[in-house]
């Protein structure tokens, strides 16, 4: 018997629209409910009351993705000015963004992280410049290593050993930004499985992927960054959910009653159905 | 305190005790009664039932048997006539909260929670899975249950909000605060930061959003340094508040050495929403802090309790929730609805009692023979006894040689220490004793004080023996003798003093199952796997099976195989025989709560009857041929079939009655890419 909470269906944003979604659970659950959580993510609740030895959850969805407008380095908006603006919470969007400046379950604030980030953030530098440089530095300095960490490995440990998976890199980069006072949130989603011809295959394409988004002020809004692949997410990244960190958007979470050990396996496939259209 | 305020039960208990001791004084001083407050509390809880149901089911959600508040929870539940439940008794089905009982799932309308809101739902608020009801948040969102105090109300008691209360009061209620609070500065404002950094001495610092009462740094603490506060502020700029330490009023307090001293007093008051306003308890909980010298300089200071009296302004109403002597009472049999968790625990209590008893008997016989220093290495009974002990995990495997026939060491001390599991506390006989007392703790409120204290002392004796590193076999003998006596006393109390409820029945079922299984394993190990029936072997078997005296009274000194087997397997007049257990099991299973198809026998009833009948059909030939290698097979086959069927019966019963009552575990959270899976947090 188990009760579960899943974030598996992509949410609708200005650049992507989920036109079809289906969640299949075997054995058939006693109840399936959909709702929206505090962050606006689509949540699926289901519970199974029968005895079962295996649980299989499949989520299928069709998503329309449009390319996002390329970001021009903002000549005017300096990162330290943005920090102050956000802290004043003068507008609704600033207030909403402000909550992402604080430590959360998987992300801590620390001097070490701020010191690591500071070389990219001299006073007065435009935000987007600084942030993309830090993204590239994290990509270069950290090694992708699935064996190095576990779910509960603290953010600082990951930072010190410079190894981890996409989830860890996202947490570290979020930690660096938050330690400087900038709002950053965690994004979980899917990557296109087969990259277009001529482009290298993206890391993280066979399972859920994690990246982050940085707040650029009321006008610019939230903009995504992928430190694992050192890219700016666009049509190859499908956003499923966002929150303060992994704990808010775990693809599936559950409590069950039963005995013995259990194993989990995950696989994700993302294929384009149409040729990409111009934005 | 708005989260899950404690102390109400203690205040009530104190008043009831004093009222019994000084009724005249209370009447003369015209002290206001507490009962009207509790009547309001009951009424408010009833009115909060969703959809205004008539006769809502109200439960008191307690943290469990280990919690410090357990006494209070039980006391309040009994006084107010609410059902006391733990998280494991509740579940959410179809967004409604239900109570898991033997009779099925009963709907719950109002939950009075006595645990912090942060741990109330392990599904949405990941944390400790052993507490909370998965899916509770969703049930609250769907308005199918009311939780009191509402989830999230712990925010209101955050010390960081204290500086804002006067202004809030003006803005919301257009009046000033009637009761001023201690002056508080929060580090989240620039003024607050300055105050905290500047006025370092003389201020008390606390966590701004943590549990009320936590102190970070306080004057005269010794830990107080000027840089410490600055350091804390840098790490968490919003996390500190500073307060003037309040000047406490004092009251005379009697110390343990019978002096009267003046001690600072802390007064705790309670208020409940009455539908139109707040009603304050005309009383409260007062605690006096004894001076540290008296309490031996311990870190936690000892407190004494005082009752709070409020002189009534008007006529005192004659309200009481305790039953009036003139009220007509309906007689009842059987307890209230039995939660599945309690039935599960009683079943396992029976099993552990029996397991401990049989292990103690075997170990006693082993140790007695070893201590006597007669017939060591060549004893025919040593190998099967050791094998039984090791398979049932009462003796560490390392103590026995690989062929299983001897003890690895001859040293008396080493054997004694190994048996007491001095170095490996999780394994062996001691883990059995621990499991027994843990289970007894969980059902403590269902056992009589005598029964419970028997089991409690048992654990104490073992831990004392381990602590003193008892290493003589003679002392071990005393220990085992005491164990057997204590468990026999427990069994006697259960037989003579426990009312025949379903809880009792599950405990009995557990005992019979375990005893049958153990006797079968014993007989198999002693006879079937070991050829030859030397008299010493048979004698040991009878001794461990507690049938030596009966055998001698029937057959005098002749130790032969068939009569021994008859006594232990097929004699239904012997309470230790397998046949007796199976007959009792069939009886118990037939009396369990009715299933959906009462016309036909249930699976477990059929299995129990099947086992009983197969034992009843054993004939003398089978028993006599059991000794011979060739035709031993019939009995051997029967025994191994029974050994397989008994655990199956246990499983059937568990799945039917306890399946709701397993302990919850967190699904290992998914991992990105191919990270190895996370170990499950096991209860």
pLDDT digit string, tens, across residues B372-384: 765 555 677 788 8
Instruction: Give the per-residue pLDDT at B378.
Output: 62
10 Å Cβ neighbour count for A245? 25
B671 at interface of A, judged by CB pairs closer than 8 A: yes
Q: How far is CA B70 from CA A258, B250, B664, in A?
A: 27, 30, 21
ipTM for the assembly: 0.85
Higher pLDDT, B467 or B565: B565
The dihedral built from the CA positions of residue B334, B335, B336 and B337, taken in this order, carries a sign that is negative
b/e code B505-532 from CB counts within 10 Å (16+ = b): bbbbbbbbbbbbbbbbbbbbbbbbebee
Q: Residue B222's pLDDT band (boundaries 50, 70, 90)?
A: very low
Instruction: Give the per-residue pLDDT at B681.
Output: 23
SS3 assignment, position B198? helix
CA-wise closest residue to B645 among B512, B474, B517: B517
Q: Residue B673's pLDDT band (boundaries 50, 70, 90)?
A: very low
Instruction: Give the per-residue pLDDT at A220.
Output: 82
Q: Which of B39-43, B269-273, B285-289, B426-430 has the lowest mean pLDDT?
A: B426-430
Q: For an interface test with B, give the residue of A164, A189, A246, A253 to mutate (most B CBs within 10 A).
A: A253
SS3 assignment, position A63? strand
| B171, B175, B178, B180: CA torsion to nearest 10 | 40
Which residues of chain A neighbour B662 with C-beta distances below 8 Å? 1, 257-259
SS3 assignment, position B407? strand
10 Å Cβ neighbour count for B536? 15
Provide CB contacts within 8 A for B549, sequence distance 6+: none
CA-wise closest residue to B37 among B277, B280, B275: B280
Q: CA of A258, closest CA in chain B: separation in Å?
A: 7
Q: Phi and psi for B219 in degrees, rounded to 5?
A: -65, 150
Instruction: Give the per-residue pLDDT at B294.
Output: 46
B681 at interface of A, judged by CB pairs closer than 8 A: no
Which residues of chain B neighbour A181 with C-beta distances below 8 Å? none
Q: Phi and psi for A29 in degrees, rounded to 5?
A: -75, 155
Instruction: Give the per-residue pLDDT at A75.
Output: 58
Query: What does the mean pLDDT of chain B come to?
Result: 81
CA distance A170 to A188: 10
Interior angle at CA B174, CA B170 and CA B180, nearest 5? 45
What is the tally of helices (H) and strands (E) in chain B?
22, 18
A173 neighbors A200 (Cβ within 8 angstroms): no
Instruction: Give the per-residue pLDDT at B374.
Output: 57
For residue A104, give the DSSP letter: -
pLDDT tens digits along B296-327: 444 456 678 888 888 887 776 666 766 656 66
Does B661 score more than 60 pLDDT? no
Q: CA of A78, closest CA in chain B: separation in Å?
A: 23
Contact criterion met (CB < 8 Å) for B135 and A166 = no
Which residues of chain A neighbour B676 with C-beta distances below 8 Å? 146-147, 150
Q: How far is CA B517 from CA A61, B494, B522, B523, B577, in A?
A: 54, 21, 9, 10, 11
Instruction: Give the per-residue pLDDT at B546.
Output: 87
pLDDT tens digits along B582-637: 999 999 988 887 655 566 778 888 899 999 999 998 887 777 766 666 555 778 88
Contact criterion met (CB < 8 Å) for A257 and B664 = yes
Instruction: Give the per-residue pLDDT at B223.
Output: 47
Q: Phi and psi for B375 in degrees, rounded to 5?
A: 35, 75
Q: Are strands B90-93 and A143-144 parallel, antiparallel or unpaired?
A: unpaired
Query: How many CA atoms are closer than 13 Å to the CA of B623, on its beta-carbon side?
Result: 18
Q: Are strands A31-36 and A42-48 parallel, antiparallel or unpaired?
A: antiparallel
Continuous H helices in B304-423: 340-372, 382-391, 412-419
Q: What is the mean pLDDT of residues B527-547?
A: 77
Instruction: Give the per-residue pLDDT at B675.
Output: 33
B365 neighbors B529 (Cβ within 8 angstroms): no
Q: CA of A204, closest CA in chain B: separation in Å?
A: 6
Which pair of tokens denotes residue A279? 């934005």
E strand residue ranges, chain A:
2-6, 16-26, 31-36, 42-48, 56-65, 143-144, 163-164, 184-191, 209-215, 222-225, 237-243, 252-257
pLDDT tens digits along B339-357: 888 888 899 999 999 999 9
Q: Phi and psi for A14 in degrees, rounded to 5?
A: -60, -25
Contact criterion met (CB < 8 Å) for B667 and A252 = yes
Instruction: Give the per-residue pLDDT at B170.
Output: 92
CA-wise closest residue to A167 among A112, A116, A130, A204: A204
CA distance B458 to B467: 14
Which residues of chain A neighbour B660 with C-beta distances below 8 Å? 1, 257
Instruction: Give the per-residue pLDDT at B594.
Output: 67
Instruction: Give the per-residue pLDDT at B321.
Output: 67
CB pairs under 8 A between A and B: 112
Q: Is the pTM for the entire model greater than 0.80? A: no
Provide CB contacts within 8 A for A31, sequence distance 6+: A45, A46, A47, B94, B95
Contact criterion met (CB < 8 Å) for B672 and A255 = no
Which residues of chain B neighbour A187 with C-beta distances below 8 Å? none
Domain A79-249 carries which CATH code? 3.10.620.30
Instruction: Give the per-residue pLDDT at B389.
Output: 85
Contact criterion met (CB < 8 Å) for B671 and A165 = yes
Interface of B with A in 222-281 (CB under 8 A): 235
Instruction: Give the per-residue pLDDT at B683.
Output: 22
What string of pLDDT tens digits covers the 279 residues of chain A?
Answer: 788 889 999 999 988 999 888 888 888 888 888 999 999 999 999 988 888 888 898 888 899 988 887 776 665 688 988 998 998 888 999 999 999 999 888 898 888 999 999 999 999 899 988 999 999 999 999 998 888 888 788 888 999 999 999 999 999 999 999 999 999 999 999 988 777 777 777 776 777 899 999 998 888 889 999 999 998 888 889 999 999 999 899 888 888 877 667 777 888 888 877 765 544
Q: CA of A185, closest CA in chain B: separation in Å?
A: 18
Q: For chain B, how big is the Rg over CA atoms in Å?
A: 32
E strand residue ranges, B494-588:
none
CA distance A175 to A104: 9
Instruction: Give the per-residue pLDDT at B399.
Output: 77
B33 neighbors B317 (Cβ within 8 angstroms): yes
Q: CA of B230, closest CA in chain A: separation in Å?
A: 14
Residue of B nearest to A88 (CA): B189
CA distance A231 to A204: 13
Contact criterion met (CB < 8 Å) for A262 and B659 = no
Q: CA of A49, closest CA in chain B: separation in Å?
A: 9
């Amino acid at each position: 018997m188990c009760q579960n909470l899943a974030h598996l269906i992509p949410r609708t944003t200005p650049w992507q629209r989920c036109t079809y979604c289906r969640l299949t659970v075997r054995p058939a659950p006693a109840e399936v409910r959909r709702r929206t959580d505090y962050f606006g993510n689509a949540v699926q609740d289901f519970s199974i009351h029968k005895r079962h030895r295996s649980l299989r959850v499949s989520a299928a969805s069709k998503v329309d993705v449009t390319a996002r407008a390329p970001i021009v380095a903002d000549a005017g908006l300096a990162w330290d000015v943005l920090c102050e603006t956000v802290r004043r919470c003068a507008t609704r969007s600033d207030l909403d963004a402000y909550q992402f400046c604080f430590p959360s379950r998987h992300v801590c604030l620390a001097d070490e992280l701020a010191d690591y980030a500071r070389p990219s953030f001299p006073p007065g530098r435009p935000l987007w410049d600084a942030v993309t440089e830090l993204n590239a530095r994290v990509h270069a300095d950290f090694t992708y290593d699935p064996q190095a960490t576990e779910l509960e490995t603290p953010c600082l440990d990951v930072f010190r050993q410079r190894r981890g998976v996409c989830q860890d890199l996202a947490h570290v980069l979020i930690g660096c930004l938050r330690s400087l006072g900038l709002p950053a949130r965690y994004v979980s989603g899917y990557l296109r499985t087969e990259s277009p011809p001529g482009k290298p295959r993206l890391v993280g394409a066979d399972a859920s992927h994690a990246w982050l988004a940085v707040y650029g002020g009321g006008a610019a809004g939230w903009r995504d960054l992928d430190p694992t692949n050192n890219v700016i997410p666009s049509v190859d990244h499908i956003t499923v959910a966002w929150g303060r960190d992994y704990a808010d958007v775990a693809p599936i979470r559950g409590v069950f009653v039963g005995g013995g050990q259990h194993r989990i396996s995950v696989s994700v496939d993302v294929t384009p159905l149409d040729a990409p259209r111009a934005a | 305190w708005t989260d899950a305020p404690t102390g109400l039960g203690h205040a009530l208990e104190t008043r009831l005790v004093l009222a019994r001791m000084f009724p005249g004084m209370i009447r003369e001083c015209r002290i206001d009664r507490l009962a009207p407050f509790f009547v309001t509390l009951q009424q408010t809880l009833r009115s909060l039932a969703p959809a205004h149901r008539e006769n809502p089911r109200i439960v008191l959600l307690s943290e469990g048997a280990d919690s410090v508040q357990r006494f209070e929870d039980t006391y309040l539940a009994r006084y107010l006539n609410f059902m006391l439940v733990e998280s494991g008794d509740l579940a959410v089905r179809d967004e409604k909260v239900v109570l898991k009982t033997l009779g099925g799932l009963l709907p719950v309308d109002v939950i009075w929670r006595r645990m912090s809101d942060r741990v109330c739902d392990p599904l949405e608020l990941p944390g400790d899975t052993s507490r909370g009801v998965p899916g509770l948040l969703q049930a609250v969102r769907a308005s199918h249950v009311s939780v009191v105090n509402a989830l999230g109300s712990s925010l209101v008691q955050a010390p960081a909000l204290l500086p804002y209360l006067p202004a809030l009061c003006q803005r919301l209620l257009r009046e000033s605060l009637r009761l001023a609070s201690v002056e508080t500065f929060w580090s989240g404002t620039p003024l607050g930061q300055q105050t905290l950094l500047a006025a370092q001495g003389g201020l008390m610092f606390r966590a701004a959003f943590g549990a009320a009462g936590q102190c970070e740094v306080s004057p005269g603490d010794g830990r107080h340094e000027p840089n410490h506060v600055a350091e804390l502020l840098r790490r968490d700029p919003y996390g500190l508040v500073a307060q003037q330490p309040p000047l406490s009023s004092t009251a005379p307090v009697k110390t343990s050495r019978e002096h009267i001293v003046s001690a600072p007093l802390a007064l705790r008051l309670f208020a409940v929403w009455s539908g139109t306003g707040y009603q304050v308890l005309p009383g409260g909980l007062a605690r006096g802090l004894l001076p540290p010298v008296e309490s031996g300089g311990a870190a936690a200071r000892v407190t004494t309790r005082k009752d709070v009296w409020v002189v009534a302004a008007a006529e005192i109403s004659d309200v009481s929730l305790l039953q009036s002597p003139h009220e007509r009472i309906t007689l009842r049999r059987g307890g209230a609805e039995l939660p599945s968790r309690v039935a599960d625990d009683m079943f396992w209590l029976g099993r552990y009692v029996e397991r401990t008893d049989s292990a103690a008997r075997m170990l006693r016989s082993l140790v007695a023979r070893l201590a006597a220093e007669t017939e060591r290495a060549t004893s025919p009974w040593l190998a099967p006894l050791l094998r039984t002990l090791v398979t049932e995990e009462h003796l560490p495997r390392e103590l026995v040689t690989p062929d299983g026939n001897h003890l690895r060491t001859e040293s008396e001390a080493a054997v004694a220490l190994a048996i007491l599991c001095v170095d490996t506390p999780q394994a062996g006989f001691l883990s059995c004793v621990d499991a027994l007392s843990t289970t007894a703790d969980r059902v403590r409120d269902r056992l009589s004080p005598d029964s419970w204290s028997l089991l409690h002392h048992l654990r104490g004796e073992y831990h004392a023996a381990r602590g003193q590193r008892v290493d003589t076999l003679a002392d071990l003998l005393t220990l085992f003798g005491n164990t057997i006596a204590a468990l026999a006393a427990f069994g006697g109390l259960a037989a003579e003093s426990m009312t025949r409820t379903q809880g009792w029945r599950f405990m009995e079922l557990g005992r019979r199952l375990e005893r049958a299984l153990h006797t079968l394993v014993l007989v198999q190990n002693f006879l079937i796997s070991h050829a030859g029936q030397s008299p010493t072997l048979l004698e040991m078997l009878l001794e461990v099976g507690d049938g030596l005296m009966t055998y001698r009274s029937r057959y005098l000194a002749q130790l032969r195989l068939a009569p021994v087997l008859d006594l232990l397997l097929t004699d239904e007049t012997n309470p230790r025989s397998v046949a007796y257990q199976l007959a009792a099991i069939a009886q118990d299973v037939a009396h369990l709560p009715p299933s959906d198809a009462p016309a036909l026998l249930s699976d477990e009833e059929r299995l129990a009857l099947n086992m009983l009948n197969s034992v009843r059909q054993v004939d003398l030939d089978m028993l006599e041929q059991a000794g011979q290698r060739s035709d031993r097979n019939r009995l051997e086959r029967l025994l191994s079939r029974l050994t397989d069927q008994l655990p199956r019966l246990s499983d059937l019963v568990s799945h039917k009655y306890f399946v709701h009552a397993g302990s919850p575990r967190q699904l290992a959270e998914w991992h990105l890419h191919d990270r190895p899976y996370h170990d499950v947090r096991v209860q």
